Structure 1
Amino acid sequence: MAYRRRIVDDLLDELFPHLAAIALEGAKGVGKTATATQRAKTILSLDEPAQREILAANLDHIIQVPPPVLIDEWQLEPPVWDRVRRAVDDDNTGGRFLLAGSAGIAPGVRIHSGAGRIVSFPMRPLAFSERGLLEPTVSLSDLLAGGQPSIEGHSPIDVSTYTDEILSSGFPGIRVLPERARQIQLDSYIARIVERELPENGVSIRRPDRLRAWLTSYGAATATDASYSKILDAATAGEDDKPARGTVDSYREHLTRIFVLDPIPAWIPIFNPLKRLTHTPKHHLVDPAIAARLVKIGKAGLLRGEGDRVAAPTGTWLGALFESLTAQSVRVYASAVGAEVGHLRTKDTAREIDLIVEGSDRRVVAIEVKLAATISDHDVRHLNWLQQQIGSRLSDRVIVTTGQYAYRRPDGVAVIPLALLGP
């Protein structure tokens, strides 16, 4: 399969010649190795026992082979990280090392942070604009810059196609498969997380069935900030013998460490009049296809409005998955320009905004996500409220839809089909 350039490629083209070591971090299957391989002369794959044994016996091997050197699944031999750090201390010439990892360091293993020597770039599944369906006409970077850029464009993509994209997955190697093979591959991906991925990273799972039930419940809470107690209750309905709080916390910690959970943190602005905001993250898995597969609702059911959700009194399961698909894409676009993504919700739940993108200059783009083609004044009320609160710091107000056209409303809110939004 020919390599399709990713958004992160532009960032690597710009920065790798000047940075000695870059770590690409993300879940298995997001494409880290394929992207890094485009730039490597030497590839050391530590999930191959022979290469791992060689490197364990001689860490200096990384400086004895032709650069750039890709060290794939580096976390399987944690001392490699410190050896790269020391190599950069000795010679910080750009373009020397790429490290790809699908997990953080196992519990109890200590390494240097690498700050100032190894720069980390996150990689997520394919954003919508990376899937080759349609060329975007609106740039998140332009929205962050302010000045209300022109909003225009037409998208032929409808709700049915967005549903296909949710179910097809953003994992490059999975989405190209026929439907039945794709479903089996997603099931295998989930099973590997529970049965192999965590144990390979030093985590003992005594009851895999309980972990899978909790993961399913978490998936059903997609795009909510449901309490962890409600997620556990949904996972253990009818059971008297529930897992201990520490066990559940361990699930969450380790699944986040291997990038399977990808929650969106609450946005807490600094030096701002906003008060009484919740600090609870919003729940998302690394790919909405995994959530859909865990809950076992297919395309026909999603389009009929089927699907039980955890702690979500309004909205459909398809709407939650569309929000997760949008969040996944926006986070890819935001990382390309050094911006961060959060969500906003007041403690009294009177005000909430799905996505807050904050640039390095503290300017903000506020985004609501609607599984709808048309937008009413009611849909933009929270965006307009935020503008009243933070004034010129709010660069733009956006509603992402499933509609056909991108345009600005008379009140200045940009209405943008997901397919037309890009980096």
Structure 2
Amino acid sequence: MDNTEKIYRNRITDSALELKLEAFGATLIVGPKGCGKTTTAKHYANSYIEFQDEDTREGLLSVAENMPSKLLIGDKPRLFDEWQDAPKIWGAIRKSVDDSGLKGQYILTGSSSQKVETAHTGTLRISTLRMFPMSLYESGESSGTVSLMDLFEGKDIEWEESKLTIDDLIYAICRGGWPQSIDVENREAALSIASDLFYQTCHTDISNISHVKRNPLWAERLIRSYSRNICTLAETKTIFSDTSQATGISKPTFYDYFHDLEDLYIIDELPAWCPAIRSKEAIRSGNKRNLVDPSIAVAALGLSPDYFNTDFKTLGFLFESLCIRDLKIYSSGMNGEVSYYHDRYGLEADAVLHLKDGRYALIEFKLGSKEIDMGAEHLCEIERLIGEYNKKEKQVPLRLPDLKLVITATEYGYKREDGVYVIPIGCLKN
């Protein structure tokens, strides 16, 4: 029997969790199933209760139902994994935090496939922390030689080289950032994890989250249709029409399924950045369609890495989804947020990374080197329009972008003469 202790992979979420433990009495970690919530929580906990442990489950649930405060006894921080199985623990933790006034006492994690109504919100006592699957930097596939924070701080790059080939990126997109798959040497086995997550989402979790029996084939069709529109501004009616033609699903039921998938953290859309640099009417303000990890789209569409040898168009959308996932993870470690810009004239920035201090980066994602010039031109044109806007609106000027980035699947990173940085995703970190 192998008793070797499993090595903990550091997560960008770690620093955010440490901050939460300093500021609040308890922290609830949320995110899609399989993203590593429990592993991270156990790394920081000094004691824990696992309600899913069948050897002790019945006794623990009995205590939790009749005297939940007894379960709070233990070294702090104390973790309650799958806390939703014993919902009274929420109120007990809230009261304990109120009574003691101490910080960093409790961590809660739970399957995102269950929603529980609690008597109290936990506001200012129990803070929520969002986790994602792993970024390429966390999985060890990005070298991390280019730091977004360093770029914001004014550090230039001269020449960077990514060791990730296009085949490596295709595999990373298909496998996803699920911690369970990262160290699996057998690639077929690693790829099967995203497929199983897609299956479980449609056949089990979507019914559990709503406490309503859902049709798994309808859920599969919805995610498949959604995946065909990933990283586009497709209207909801387009996805509904595609899904309903295949299933006959009604519009209200479609929206129920859609919101269930949001509650499961499977659908994870990108909001619009809407500066009126032309006019309010010119801005596309709908959400950009995206999933929490591109591997779900690959699984839903029934694709394999070999498929992309002949379809770079689909690969381009999935590459953008991968980049958005990584940017959301990196921004969480920088106290930032990610959105996108697009107007009806076709001018776009695939992503806009805003920091809380007002600094921001305009970003385009380009799979190949031939598209870099066009992406850079878009970013420079947005910057020019903001400058023109500021000449007219001197009382409330818009900040010029602090960074202009084209993130690519190519090999080399450098700074262009127009000030745009070309950064391979295989070099990037927070």
- Name 1:140's counterpart in structure 2: 148
Specify whether residues 185 and 52 from structure 1 end up closer, same or farther in structure 2 by C-alpha distance, changes over 3 A only: farther
Give the residue type in structure 1 aligned to 2:9: R
Q: Matched residues, percent identical?
A: 27
Specify whether residues 110 and 379 from structure 1 end up closer, same or farther in structure 2 by C-alpha distance, changes over 3 A only: same
- Name 1:388's counterpart in structure 2: 384
1:33-64 deviations in whole A, cap 9, x for unaligned? 00110111221223344334432332213432
Q: 2:172 aligns with which of 165, 175, 193?
A: 165
Specify whether residues 130 and 303 from structure 1 end up closer, same or farther in structure 2 by C-alpha distance, changes over 3 A only: same
Give the residue type in structure 1 aligned to 2:301: V
- Name 1:311's counterpart in structure 2: none
Q: 1:222 aligns with which of 208, 216, 230?
A: 230
Quick check: 1:365 aligned with 2:352? no
- Name 1:9's counterpart in structure 2: 14
- Name 2:393's counterpart in structure 1: none
1:283-340 deviations in whole A, cap 9, x for unaligned? 111211111011012112112117xxxxxxxxx1111111111111110000111101
Q: 1:304 aligns with which of 302, 310, 314?
A: 310
**Residue pair 1:400, 1:415 contacting (<8 A) in 2 also:** yes
* Cα distance in structure 1, aligned partners of 2:288 and 2:149: 24
* Cα distance in structure 2, aligned partners of 1:143 and 1:30: 28
For residues 4-403 of structure 1, the aligned pairs below 5 Å read 4-48=9-53, 49-50=57-58, 51-103=60-112, 106=115, 109-145=117-153, 147=154, 149-150=156-157, 152-177=159-184, 178-237=186-245, 239=246, 242-269=248-275, 275-276=280-281, 277-305=283-311, 316-346=313-343, 348-391=344-387, 392-403=399-410
3-state DSSP of counterpart to 1:397: strand
- Name 1:415's counterpart in structure 2: 422
Specify whether residues 202 and 416 from structure 1 end up closer, same or farther in structure 2 by C-alpha distance, changes over 3 A only: same
Give the residue type in structure 2 aligned to 1:275: K
* Cα distance in structure 2, aligned partners of 1:264 and 1:351: 17
* Cα distance in structure 2, aligned partners of 1:79 and 1:265: 35
Specify whether residues 52 and 417 from structure 1 end up closer, same or farther in structure 2 by C-alpha distance, changes over 3 A only: farther
Q: CA deviation at 1:14?
A: 4.8
* Cα distance in structure 1, aligned partners of 2:126 and 2:205: 25
**Residue pair 1:20, 1:96 contacting (<8 A) in 2 also:** yes
Give the residue type in structure 2 aligned to 1:37: K
Specify whether residues 233 and 16 from structure 1 end up closer, same or farther in structure 2 by C-alpha distance, changes over 3 A only: same
**Residue pair 1:151, 1:407 contacting (<8 A) in 2 also:** yes
1:376-401 deviations in whole A, cap 9, x for unaligned? 43222221122123354411000000
3-state DSSP of counterpart to 1:128: coil
3-state DSSP of counterpart to 1:195: helix
Specify whether residues 350 and 375 from structure 1 end up closer, same or farther in structure 2 by C-alpha distance, changes over 3 A only: closer
* Cα distance in structure 2, aligned partners of 1:10 and 1:258: 24
Q: CA deviation at 1:402?
A: 1.2
* Cα distance in structure 2, aligned partners of 1:191 and 1:105: 17
* Cα distance in structure 1, aligned partners of 2:164 and 2:279: 37
1:169-209 deviations in whole A, cap 9, x for unaligned? 20011233323323443332222112221322343134221
3-state DSSP of counterpart to 1:149: coil
Normalising by structure 1, what TM-score? 0.89
Q: CA deviation at 1:88?
A: 1.6
Q: Which runs of 4+ in 1 moved over 4 A?
A: 271-274
What count of residue pairs does the alignment treat as equivalent? 408
**Residue pair 2:268, 2:292 contacting (<8 A) in 1 also:** yes
**Residue pair 1:274, 1:389 contacting (<8 A) in 2 also:** no
* Cα distance in structure 1, aligned partners of 2:277 and 2:92: 43
Give the residue type in structure 2 aligned to 1:74: W
* Cα distance in structure 2, aligned partners of 1:203 and 1:140: 42
C-alpha RMSD over aligned residues: 2.3
Give the residue type in structure 1 aligned to 2:294: P
Shifted more, 274-283 versus 406-415: the winner is: 274-283
* Cα distance in structure 2, aligned partners of 1:121 and 1:390: 34
* Cα distance in structure 2, aligned partners of 1:139 and 1:389: 28
**Residue pair 2:114, 2:208 contacting (<8 A) in 1 also:** no
Extract unaligned runs of 5+ from structure 1.
307-315
Specify whether residues 376 and 272 from structure 1 end up closer, same or farther in structure 2 by C-alpha distance, changes over 3 A only: closer
* Cα distance in structure 2, aligned partners of 1:274 and 1:361: 26
* Cα distance in structure 2, aligned partners of 1:388 and 1:78: 54
* Cα distance in structure 2, aligned partners of 1:291 and 1:104: 19
3-state DSSP of counterpart to 2:138: helix
Specify whether residues 97 and 152 from structure 1 end up closer, same or farther in structure 2 by C-alpha distance, changes over 3 A only: farther
Extract unaligned runs of 5+ from structure 2.
1-5, 388-398
* Cα distance in structure 2, aligned partners of 1:52 and 1:183: 36
Specify whether residues 105 and 293 from structure 1 end up closer, same or farther in structure 2 by C-alpha distance, changes over 3 A only: closer
**Residue pair 1:24, 1:32 contacting (<8 A) in 2 also:** yes
